[in-house]
Structure 1
Amino acid sequence: MFHSIERLAVEEDGEGDAVLCLHGLGGDSNTWTPLMPALAGYRVIRPDLPGSGRSASAGGTLTMEKLVEAAANVCARLNVSRAHVLGHSMGTIVAQHLAAAQPHLVRSLSLFGPLLAPSDTARTNIRARGEKAKAEGLRGMHEIALALVDAATSTDTRQRQPVAVAYVRESLMRQDPEGYARNCFALADCKPATVERIAAPTMLVTGDEDVVAPPQAVRNMAERFTQARSLRTVILNRCGHWTPIERPEDCARELRAFLPAQR
């Protein structure tokens, strides 16, 4: 089922306990398509967040607060009072803020390529990427996509998974340059959520070649979730930052083990 909620494109599939899927920068609802078999038996809600995918025209200036508000509003409009929340990359930051601000809404967190916030160096690079997209349009997005395929996917993915590489290229190249730029600026300016307040069971999944969410940084991040009722950290081999795309079988296995335990 397709919904248009305040200019956001939202897909809804299945019945059961709600699962809200929040993609990352340069992603859209299709980031989660490889994991849909693992979510059979759930009511899966996949928005294209403001400025991304088919929701490129939604909103003006973006901030992390507006992204969180958009996610919460999707739940409210679809009468979801409690949901398992999945996030990838920037979507993990949105998910953490949502869990800290509305603990009654978030039943569990499954975070892929997770980070609390970009490092200072990363903020500078993300802001520069946004400026390039804004100034150069589709040509800029083409160059950004090629650079990120090399930087953000694993060697194994690039050598042995041409379909995964094609997806990452397509996902980035198809973004509206202005919308992508607005998301870059929102991410570059965001602050970490107060994760020490999050009680929801949490799973953190990253790749051993993830340069955005390196394994040691994710282990350090896990130490901040001091109130989580349960906590699991998973490092996937031969995997970069596009975890659900590069290692869908491994991510699906982890979800099948994690989500039923939180019912």
Structure 2
Amino acid sequence: MATQLIRGLAVEIDGDGDALLCIHGLGGSSNTWTPLLAALSDFKVIRPDLPGSARSPLLQEPLSIEGYALQLEALLSALGIKTVHVAAHSLGTIVAQHLAVRNPAKVKSLALFGPLVAPPDAARPNILARAAAARGGVAAMQEIADAIVKGATSRETKAGQPAVLALVRESVMRQPPEGYAQSCEALAAAQSAEIEQIGVPALLVTGDQDGVAPPANVAVMAARIAGSRQVVFDGCGHWTTFEKPQRCMQELERFHASLR
């Protein structure tokens, strides 16, 4: 396992088999997926840090959902990958949906954790306010991280998984402030893809305490994607792969087995 710089993205690539592209969310990195690697051993797992996140530098142009999709298309092209399965979390699920609609012959399946089609309009000003706060630097990123730990993890995680709280906090605090700010702005401006056009198997996973992707909202989303399946984890917030890694692995294995 070694990080490579490919087309301006820091990327980890592991294993052989069909390609699986893993797209992290806001405040995440390639390590969003590290807890699940044992369930992905049959794949060539490609885990980039999105532009401006973790180890990947910012682009010259401002970040956007379309820009993320273009960068990932360029990455797959550079790796010579013709078809790909996709797993994504949070903001990454929006990118994944656009990627699938843009590339119907390339994307073979979608496994979406904490999924949303776009932020609700009422949430957009708060996301922009977070972008402005992030530009305050390291101390501001600590405050943002502490707020996310408090607001985006479940009661059960807070009570019984202190290491997960530390991991979420570290993931956010390690983000470059300007990169995180622009990522927030990209999320605040995100628009829904025409997900009714998605014609591949899709798994939608959320937590019963996920305020970003509430089960009722995910159910509406699932109804728009023909043949999709929704799973709701008990005692889980928005950081699905950290809070419930074993359940995530079980659902991924079941989902991928159904594709064979």
TM > 0.5? yes
Per-residue Cα deviation, 1:30-62 (whole angstroms, up to 9, x for no partner): 000000000012100000001101013344311
1:207 aligns with 2:207: yes
Q: For residues 121-153 of structure 1, what are the alpha-carbon distances to aligned partners after superposition, in whole Å with 9 as ceiling and x for unaligned? A: 21111111001101x111110000000101000
Is 1:120 matched with 2:121? yes
Say yes or no: does 1:255 pair with 2:256: no
Q: Structure 1: where are the runs of 5+ without partners?
A: none
Q: Distance in 2 between matches of 1:7 and 1:108?
A: 26
* Percent of residue pairs bearing the same amino acid type: 52
1:239 matched to 2:236? The reply is yes
- Contact 2:210 2:238 (8 Å CA) reproduced: yes
TM-score when normalising by structure 1:
0.96
Letter in 2 for 1:125: N
- Cross-structure match for 1:137: 137
TM superposition score normalised by structure 2: 0.98
Residue 68 of structure 1 aligns to a residue whose secondary structure is helix
- Counterparts of 1:212 and 1:106, CA distance in 2: 25
- Supply the distance in 1 between the matched residues of 2:73 and 2:60 (Cα, whole angstroms): 15
Contact 1:6 1:58 in 2 (8 A): no
State the alpha-carbon separation in 1 of the partners of residues 60 and 17 from structure 2: 31
Spell out the pairing of 1:139-154 with structure 2 (5 A cutoff).
139-154=139-154
Q: 1:180-199 maps to which residues of 2 (within 5 A)?
A: 180-199=180-199
Q: Distance in 2 between matches of 1:63 and 1:91?
A: 12
Amino acid at match of 1:199: G
CA distance in 1, matches of 2:158, 2:4: 35
The one-letter code matched in structure 1 to 2:110 is L
Q: Would the aligned equivalents of 1:50 and 1:59 in 2 still touch at CA under 8 Å? A: no
- Which consecutive aligned stretches of 4+ in structure 1 deviate over 2 angstroms post-superposition? 56-60
**Contact 2:7–2:74 (8 Å) recurs in 1:** no
Which residues of 2 match residues 1-263 of structure 1 at below 5 A? 1-134=2-135, 136-226=136-226, 230-263=227-260
Structure 2 unmatched ranges of 5 or more: none
**CA displacement 1:93-121 (0-9 Å, x = unmatched):** 00000000101111000000000000012
User: What's the offset of the Cα at 1:6?
Assistant: 2.3
3-state DSSP of counterpart to 1:55: coil
CA distance in structure 2 between the aligned counterparts of 1:193 and 1:59, rounded to whole angstroms: 25
RMSD of aligned residue pairs (Cα, Å): 0.9
In 1, are the aligned partners of 2:25 and 2:92 still within 8 Å (CA)? yes
By how many angstroms is 1:2 displaced?
2.8
- Quote the Cα distance in structure 2 between the aligned partners of 1:127 and 1:34: 30
